[in-house]
């Protein structure tokens, strides 16, 4: 939306930029639906990616705070960046993985054969995991997190280490589509997705940016966008 001077409405006050980071690769990535299971750690590739991310972020963005889902795989992904930036990792349950209920620990290949899987893909707005959370409930807690962050870190940038579905939902919500478009979005391990937030508006800056294909040039653009809107 633009005002009379041609500037975006997002430029009218200082925004928050959230750099969402999906956790690094684990032994179950793409195979199992681990959900909130404890004891799942990064594999060798995931650990290397987390350290590579920290190396590239350091000195390229001024980070005000680092938040993380309490699950081990997200904390392990956040740890190298926290060390590089000399910042603590603040755990926040609102960044946790969806509660997959009875599907927790199931093989994805088996779940895709269930009739409920079609409902998950075609009607995410109405879907609830058996014995678990709905995508709408996940959206509500992500909205709660970003709303609080806007008030706490206005005009600043934070890192939020979380999981694929919460990031998909944050993006779909920012596009004004609730959770209905979330399954059309890919979020790879250790990828960066950035969203600029204000109290009544948001703008997606980058989606699923990965070190091996973009060499973090998006971070330069993020900095330019912050300067433009401050």
Number of folded domains that form the chain: 1
The rounded percent of the chain whose pLDDT value lies above 70 is 86
CA distance 40 to 103: 16
> Quick check: is 100 in a domain?
yes
Q: Strand runs (DSSP E) across the chain, as ranges?
A: 16-22, 63-68, 89-91, 157-162, 192-197, 202-209
For residues 57 and 21, the answer to whether their CB atoms sit within 8 Å is no
More confident residue, 59 or 19: 19
- Is the residue at 6 inside a domain? no
Helix %, strand %, coil % of the chain (to 5): 45, 20, 35
7 occurs within a structural domain: no
Q: Considering the domain boundaries, does residue 9 fall inside one?
A: no
Give the pLDDT score at 12. Answer: 52
Q: Of 197, 187, 143, whose CA–CA distance to 167 is shortest? A: 187
Residues above pLDDT 90, as percent of the chain: 73
- Given this model, what pLDDT does residue 212 score? 54
Q: Which structural domain, as residue segments, surrounds residue 52?
A: 14-229
C-alpha dist (Å) from residue 56 to 52, 80, 132: 6, 11, 37
Is 3 a domain residue? Answer: no
- Other beta carbons within 10 angstroms of residue 151's beta carbon come to 9
Query: Does residue 4 form part of some domain?
Result: no
> Would you say residue 2 lies in a domain?
no
pLDDT in tens, 139-150: 999 999 999 999
CATH number of the domain that residue 35 is part of: 3.40.50.1240
pLDDT one-digit tens code per residue, 113-158: 999 999 999 999 999 999 999 999 999 999 999 999 999 999 999 9
**The model's pTM:** 0.87
């Amino acid at each position: 939306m633009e005002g009379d001077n041609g500037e975006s409405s997002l430029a009218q006050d200082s925004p928050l930029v959230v750099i969402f980071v999906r956790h690094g690769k684990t032994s179950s990535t793409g195979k199992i639906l681990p959900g909130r299971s404890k004891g799942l750690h990064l594999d060798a590739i995931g650990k290397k990616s987390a350290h590579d991310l920290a190396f590239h972020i350091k000195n390229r963005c001024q980070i005000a705070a680092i938040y993380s889902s309490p699950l081990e795989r997200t904390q392990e992904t956040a740890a190298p960046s926290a060390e590089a930036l000399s910042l603590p990792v603040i755990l926040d349950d609102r960044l946790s993985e969806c509660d997959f209920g009875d599907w927790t620990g199931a093989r994805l290949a088996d779940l895709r054969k269930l009739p409920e899987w079609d409902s998950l893909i075609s009607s995410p707005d109405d879907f609830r995991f058996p014995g678990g959370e709905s995508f709408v409930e996940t959206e509500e807690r992500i909205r709660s997190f970003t709303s609080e962050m806007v008030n706490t870190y206005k005009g600043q940038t934070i890192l939020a280490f979380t999981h694929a579905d919460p990031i998909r939902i944050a993006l779909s919500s920012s596009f004004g589509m609730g959770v209905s478009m979330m399954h059309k979005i890919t979020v790879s391990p250790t990828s960066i997705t950035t969203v600029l937030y204000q109290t009544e508006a948001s703008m997606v800056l980058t989606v699923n940016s990965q070190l091996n294909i973009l060499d973090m040039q998006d971070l330069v653009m993020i900095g330019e966008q912050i300067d433009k809107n401050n």
